[in-house]
Amino acid sequence: MIGILINNNGKALFTALPKETEKLEKQLAGIGLNVPMQAVNLSNHNDIGYELEIYAQSQIDLEIASRIILHDNIGQLNDLMLYISQGDADKMYDRICESHAETISDLYNELTTPPELETTDKLVIRTTLNYNANFYEPADCIVEKAIAIPHEEYDALINITDSCYDFIAENQECMYYDKDNNNHCILIYDDTSGDGVIINADGCNYPKYSAFVPHAKTMLEQHELEQSGLKTVKAPITESEKRLLDTISSAADRIATFAHLGHKDFTIEDVLKDLNCDFDDIKELIRNAVAEKLNTKPDISSVEVSDLDIPLQPEISVTTEETQNMTADEEIGGLSL
């Protein structure tokens, strides 16, 4: 903890940080500082007239205090100390010592920003690992309510699982066991990352029973689509699509290779020639891919492809299941493929 001594118009306040925001604001108001915490700079160079001293005793407090500059404020310091108090002290100390942040606001941003994942071509699964797990017995959890919360609140939730949270207290009626012993829960998810935690508080205001749910937001959105009847089904890739994608990939690889050799400017026509391919070949691939996709649609009865390159002549002729009174040209405004 870091101690703060503030003298303002003959009134003094000595308090330790971190502290709940409302309590700290009331303490500041008690000595006449009726201003937002962000207006209370951690310096005696201020426009309000108060005098301030900082007391740091532990090594981690000294590391933090050494980064305080003129315009850092008590609100930033309180947020930083709150975040540090939620983690492992030794690990936090090591991270702070290794940090090149020059202000406490920069230090807070650095500590709370998830580290970038090392680049890898291997499958990465974000989950939790249990120490010496004896069994894995999944249970059906019925989501009665899904709640998106800011990243800072979500970060606190997954790091402090024994604290009380308003969103749990306010949704007690959503968390219970029914007569068949099914779990009825709330799903709390990070509105930034999309990961979440499913909770059955069982009458408590903290997450008494909970589990980490990766990609919770995506799962929720998919469920809502399915409930609305708009299921997302990824059609299998056709052979012509595969060949087209392979050609695109080969062209990109070739450009990258020559770029590393010092070349800067390229034309797609020249690159395709190097691959023994031209625009006519690409056009044929696109035409065949469109025809193959049309053949997969249940309401299309037949698709005919013409290889003859004749101006103003159709390349794809399509017949639908329904008998139509208007011509294809009338339907799509004269557009032909």
Count CB atoms within 10 A of the CB of residue 185: 26
What residue type is assigned to position 301 of the chain? S
Q: State residue 45's pLDDT score.
A: 74
- Give how far Cα 212 sits from Cα of 135, 178, 185, 196, Å: 17, 22, 13, 6
- Would strands 2-8 and 141-149 be described as parallel, antiparallel, or unpaired? unpaired
> What is the three-class DSSP state of 72?
coil
Per-residue pLDDT of the chain (337 residues; tens, 9 = 90+): 899 999 998 899 999 999 888 899 999 999 999 888 888 888 877 778 888 899 988 889 899 988 888 788 999 999 999 888 887 888 888 989 988 888 888 888 888 876 665 666 777 777 887 777 777 888 889 999 999 999 888 988 988 778 889 999 999 999 998 888 889 999 999 988 899 999 999 999 999 999 999 999 989 988 888 887 655 555 667 788 888 888 888 888 888 888 888 888 889 888 888 888 888 888 888 888 888 888 888 788 888 888 766 776 788 888 887 644 444 444 444 444 4
DSSP symbol at 13: E
Q: State residue 119's pLDDT score.
A: 67
- Would strands 196-200 and 300-305 be described as parallel, antiparallel, or unpaired? unpaired
Identify the H or E element spanning 249: helix 239-260
User: Dihedral, CA atoms, 292, 293, 294, 295, nearest 10 degrees?
Assistant: 50
Q: Residue 308 class from Cβ within 10 Å (0-12 exposed, 13-18 middle, 19+ buried)?
A: exposed
Residue with tokens 């303002």, as numbered in its chain: 8
